[in-house]
Amino acid sequence: MVLLSSGKRGASWKVMRTNEDLTAGGVANEIVGVRVSTTRRSAASTPVLLPLSIRLDFLHLRYSMAMEITQVLLNAQVVDGTVRKHAEESLEQFWEQNFPSYVFSLAGELVNEEKPVESRKLAGVLLKNALDAKEQHRKFEYVKRWLSLDVGVKNQVKTFLLQTLSSPVQDARSTASQVIAKVAGIELPQKQWPELIMSLLSNIHLVPPHAKQATLETLGYICEEVSPDVVHQDQVNKILTAVVQGMNALEANNNVRLAATRALYNALGFAHANFNNDMERDYIMRVVCEATLSADVKIRQAAFECLVAISSTYYEKLSPYIKDIFSITAKAVKEDQEPVALQAMEFWSSICDEEIDILEEYGGEFSGDSEVPCFYFIKQALPALVPMLLETLLKQEEGQDQDEGAWNIAMAGGTCLGLVARTVGDDIVPLVMPFIQENIQQPDWRKREAATYAFGSILEGPSPDKLAPIVNIGLNFMLNALMTDPNSHVKDTTAWTLGRIFEFLHGSAMESPIITQGNSQQIVTVLLHSMKDAPNVAEKACGALYFLAQGYEDSGSSSPLTPYFQEIVQSLINVTHREDASESRLRTAAYETLNEVVRCSTDETAALVAQLIPVIMTELHKTMDPQTPSFDGGEKQSELQGLLCGCLQVIIQKLSSESTKYVVLQYADQIMGLFLRVFACRSATVHEEAMLAIGALAYATGPDFVKYMNDFYKYLEMGLQNYEEYQVCAVTVGVVGDVCRALEDKILPYCDGIMTQLLKDLSSDQLHRSVKPPIFSCFGDIALAIGDNFDKYFTYAMPMLQSAAELSSRTSATDDEILEYTNLLRNGILEAYSGILQGFKSSPKTQLLIPYSSHILQFIDSIYLEKDMDDAVMKTAIGVLGDLADTLGNNASTLIQQSLSSRDFLNECLSSTDPLIKESAEWARLTIGRVIAA
C-alpha cells in the first residue's frame, strides 16, 4: 500500500511491498529502441536520445505490463479509498513484476513537463523510495537491485533526472535533486557515474537561477549521502568553490543563495583539507558570517546552522573568529526572529558540548602533543555570555509547559546555561546568583520563573561545596513556592528544579546532606500534594520524587523514606487513575517513579512491596477486559500494559531474595498467565516489557519455571524471529539466558529449537547487527546450562564463533561507534567461549575442545596486540585464559606458554586499576600457574 509519511524534507510517499525477493535480472535488456545506437560508449559520453514524447510513447507500447502511469499516480492520491487502494496495488504489482520498466516510467513521468505536478512529484518520491529504505536489509536489497539493472536503463533514468533539474516546476526539481543523490549514494562508492559531479558543476554558471538552485541542492544532497573518501579532493575543491560563490552577497537570487548555504552545511564534512588552509578557511568563514547578516531570514538561519556544524567539526580552528562570532550571535539572540536566534544559541551549546567532551577525555591536562586541546572559549566568553543567556529566560511563551514538543528562546537559553555550568563549573555561580536574587520574588511571574529556571539550570557542573550553602537556603523557599505560587509555569519549573537538586546534590556521596530528619517530612508532603496539581506540575513532582528515592539507594538496611513508603505508593497509584493522567506523560512518570521507589526500598518495606503484586496484577487484568473503556487522550492500552509489566518486573526482582521470594512463588502462576495473555497484543513495547518481566520471574522461580515452558516457548521463538522490531529480539535473547540460568539442564528439550533459531539469526542480514553480540553470549549461557550436551551444536556454533572472532580481530576501528560495536562483538564471543569451557569442565568430552583451543588463544593474542579493547573485553578475555587452563589442564599448558602475549596480557591485567579485572587476573594467574606446575 502507499502510505504518507513525514520525512526530513517534508511529506513523502512510501510504497510498502509484500514480496521483495524478485530480482530485475535480464528484464532490463528488453528495453530496446529508446536509443538510436546500442554500441558501447565511454561512461562519460552522452547517449543519443530520441525525442522525449517518442521515448515515453514507446515505453507504453512496448510493455504488456506497462500502465497509464500518470492516472495511476494521480489515483494514488485521491480521497476515495477504493480508487486509491486499486492504484496502490497497481503500483506495487508494477514494481514487483517489472522493476526496470517501473523506474523508467517514474523517471519519464518526472521529467515530462506536460504532466501534472502532483503525478510528477509522487513519481519522484516513489523513485527515491525504490532506491533507499530505513531498514538496513531492505536498503541492501534495493541497492543490489539497482546495480543489477541494465546499464542502458540506468543511464536513461539518470539522464531524465539531470534534465529535470532545469524544470520550471520547483517540486519536480527538488525531488529530482534528492533522487540523484540517492543514485549517487549507490553508484559513486562503486566507481560508477564518475562524470556526475563535473557535469553538475560544468554548467552551474550558464543555467537560469532556478536550475542553478536545483544544482546546488543536488550537490548538497550528494554530500549528505556519500562518504568524503568517495569524492576526490579536486572535486571537493570545485564543489566548495561553487557553493561558496553561490552564498556570496553578490548573488542576487535569494533562492540560489539559500540553496548554496544549505549545500555548504552538508559539504562541511568534506572540507578538512580546506579548513587546514588558512586562506581558504578565512574565505569560507567570511562568507558564512556575511550570510548571517542577510536580509532573508531563511538564509540567516541556514548560515547559523553552518556555524553550528563548523563549531563541532572544526572546533580547533575557531580561535581567530570567536570574537566576531560572539558579536554576531549576541545580536541575533537579542534582535532576530526566533528560528535564527535559536541557531545562534545552538552555536554556544555546541561549543559547550565540544569542551565538555575534551575536558572529560583529557581531564583538563593538555600537553603539546594533545590531539585536540581545549581553547576554553566558554570560560573566556563567560562575562558576556551568561548575561545574554539570562536575558533569554524572560522570553517564555504562555502554555509552553503543556506542550511536550515546545522549544523556544527561553528553553534554549536555559539548556545552554546548563551546558555552560557543566563546562566551567564553579565559575558560573557568582554570575547567576544576582539574577536569581533579584527576580525570585518579583510580582511578574516571568521573572520568578526565569530565576527558578536559572537556579535549576546551574545545579549540574559546580561542586557540591559551592552549591550546598545556596541550596540549603533556597530549598525551603522552593518547597513553599511549589505549594503556594499562583502561577502554573512557576510551579512547573520549581518542581523541575527540586528534581535537579535531588538528582545532583542528594545521596550517600554527599558529605553534608541536603535532606535531613528536619525537612524530609516537609519534602515528601509537598511533593505528594503537588502530584494532585495540573498534569504538567504533577509530572515534574513525580520526577522529583523519583530522584529523592534514588538518592537513598545505598542507604543500607534503613531508609529515611520508609515511614512514608505506603503513603508514597498509594499517592502514585492514585495519580495513575487520574482522568487527565494521559496528559504530559503523567501516568508514565507515576509508574516510573513507583518502580524507582520500590527498587530503592529496603527490607523494612518488603511486606508492603508484596502487597503491590495483586494491585498491579488487577490493573493489568483490567487492560485485557473488553468491557474496560479505553483511556482518554488517545493513550493506547498497550502502552499501559507495558508500564504494568515493567512495574511487575521491578517488584519481582525486589522480592527475589531467599527470604522474600516465597511471595512471588504464591502468585507466579497468575503472573505468568497474565504475561502470556499480554503477548496477544501486537505492540513491540509490550512484548519487550513482558519478556523482561518473564526473565525476572524465571530468576525468582528457578527450576520451577519449567512448568511454563510449553506455553511460553512459542512466544520465545516468535521473539527470536522478530527481525523488524529488533529490540524485542535482543530482549528475547537475554531472556533465553535468564531461563537457562533458572532451568539449567531442564532447558535441554527446548535447545534444538532455540539453537536453530539463534544460528539463523546470526546468518541473517535482515537482523540488526546490535543483536548479534548478545546471541554469542547466549551460546555461553546455553552451554553452561546443559554442559557437555552442547557438543551436538559444535559443528554449527564453533565455526561461526571462529569466523566472527577472526572478523572482530581484523576490524580496523575508524570511529568510536565501530570500535564500540567491535568490542561488544568480541565480548559476546569471549563470553560464549567462557560458557562452553566452563560447561565442559570435568566432562569426559573435554577432548572435543582441544582442536579449538589454539584458535581461542590466537583470538586473545590478536585483540591484545590491537590495543583497543575496553575494560569489559579485557576482564572477559583474561577470564577465558583462566577457563582454558581450568578446563583443559595439561592440554592447555603448552599452548599458553607458546602464546605470543599471554604473559604480557596477564601482567597488564594484574596491574589494572579496575578491581574486577584484577580479581579475574589473580584467579587466572593461580589457575595457569597450577596447570603449568603440574
pLDDT for res 483: 95
The pLDDT tens digits for 776-799 are 999 999 999 999 999 999 999 999
pLDDT for res 366: 55
Among the listed residues 524, 461, 456, 520, the one whose alpha carbon sits nearest the alpha carbon of residue 494 = 456
Q: Please give the DSSP secondary-structure letter assigned to residue 3.
A: E
Q: Can you tell me the distance from the alpha carbon of 584 to that of 578, in angstroms, rounded to the nearest whole number?
A: 12
The pLDDT tens digits for 689-735 are 999 999 999 999 999 999 999 999 999 999 999 988 899 999 999 99
Residue 475 — pLDDT band, cuts 50, 70, 90? very high
Mean pLDDT across 79-102: 91
In this predicted structure, the answer to whether residue 877 has a pLDDT above a threshold of 60 is: yes
SS (H, E, C) 816-830: HHHHHHHHHHHHHHH
When mean pLDDT is compared across 41-45, 143-147, 248-252, 719-723, the lowest value belongs to 41-45
Mean pLDDT across 8-28: 30
Q: Can you tell me the distance from the alpha carbon of 778 to that of 784, in angstroms, rounded to the nearest whole number?
A: 10
Residue 4: strand, helix, or coil? strand
Among the listed residues 876, 867, 779, the one whose alpha carbon sits nearest the alpha carbon of residue 824 = 876
Q: Please give the DSSP secondary-structure letter assigned to residue 47.
A: P
Among the listed residues 711, 589, 707, 710, the one whose alpha carbon sits nearest the alpha carbon of residue 643 = 589
Residues of the chain with pLDDT > 90: what percent? 74
Residue 32 — pLDDT band, cuts 50, 70, 90? very low
In this predicted structure, the answer to whether residue 223 has a pLDDT above a threshold of 50 is: yes
DSSP 103-155: HHHHHHHHH-TTS-HHHHHHHHHHHHHTT--SSHHHHHHHHHHHHTS-HHHHH
The pLDDT tens digits for 327-339 are 999 999 999 999 9
Mean pLDDT across 96-117: 93
The pLDDT tens digits for 501-525 are 999 999 877 778 888 888 999 999 9
Let me know if 234 is exposed, middle or buried by CB neighbors in 10 A (0-12, 13-18, 19+): exposed
The pLDDT tens digits for 363-395 are 756 554 556 688 999 999 999 999 999 999 999
Report the mean per-residue pLDDT for the chain.
87
In this predicted structure, the answer to whether residue 669 has a pLDDT above a threshold of 80 is: yes
Q: How far is CA 407 from CA 120, 308, 333, 412, 416, in A?
A: 35, 18, 15, 7, 13
Residue 362 — pLDDT band, cuts 50, 70, 90? confident
